[in-house]
Amino acid sequence: MAAPMELSCWGGGWGLPSVHTESLIVMAYARFSGAPLRVSAVDHSWSAPQGDVPVLISEDAVIAQPAKILNYLRKQKYNADYELSAKQGADTLAYIALLEEKLLPAILHTFWVEAENYCSVTKPWYASRIPFPLRLYLPGKMSRKALNRILLMRGEPPLYRLNDVEAQIYRDAKECLNLLSNRLGTSQFFFGNTPTTLDAFVFGFLAPLYKVHFPKVQLQEHLKQLHNLCRFCDDILSGYFRLSVTDG
């Protein structure tokens, strides 16, 4: 039996095994592929000042970033995509690119830039799990990093002002959610009855947006109108993480 690998990641809340998109992607893929991961949630003993998680630690490697972690797991024979055709593999890459271009900026804004959400939900949640003195400055650093990433991705002319950028990223995100909903249709997963890499990415992006309780819920309200995407998240939580869908 393979020795379990350790995944250092942000922990859970609101009925989620993690509230962090990138951590959720890796956790979901591991469940789908049967990879033996021992999850180690960030706590008060943590000492990674850059806030860079998830990180996979195995006997012979330390790997960061979801795409690299998933590639490593595939090389260890934990492959959730072995039944996909070449076209489905290409579609997977295209949809992941769509998520990162169209949905990620709005998710970053919802969690880290929207002032009411950040002050009442995101900052307190992360600060409560980060050791002193990192908790005094790391959430603010993560917020600035998110804003810079949004502006780098979407702040090109003619969208010079943040208000203009905000309006555009939420339009793009809603369009992306609609496309995902149409693509999923009535299927259990995006390529039929078996979850794959694409399902792990979509789940990682959608589940925090779906479950975390925010005071400003513009994008969350739109997602909750797309019942097949909500059912998709609930099915993964109950089927692969054994979490009640009422926990959120």
pLDDT in tens, 158-177: 555 677 788 889 999 999 99
User: Is pLDDT at 44 greater than 90 in this prediction?
Assistant: no
Structural contact between residues 129 and 43, judged by C-beta atoms closer than 8 angstroms: yes
Tell me what the mean pLDDT of segment 227-239 comes to: 97
* Residues 209, 230: Cα–Cα separation, whole Å: 10
Q: List all residues 6 or more positions away from 111 whose beta carbon is below 8 Å from its beta carbon.
A: 117, 118, 121, 122, 146, 208, 212
The reported pTM is: 0.92
Stated length of the chain: 248
* Residues 80, 71: Cα–Cα separation, whole Å: 11
User: Domain 5-240: which CATH class?
Assistant: mainly alpha
Number of C-beta neighbours around residue 113 at 10 A? 22
| Burial class of residue 204, CB neighbours in 10 A (0-12, 13-18, 19+) | buried
Tell me what the mean pLDDT of segment 112-138 comes to: 90
* Residues 6, 3: Cα–Cα separation, whole Å: 10
User: Is pLDDT at 47 greater than 70 in this prediction?
Assistant: no
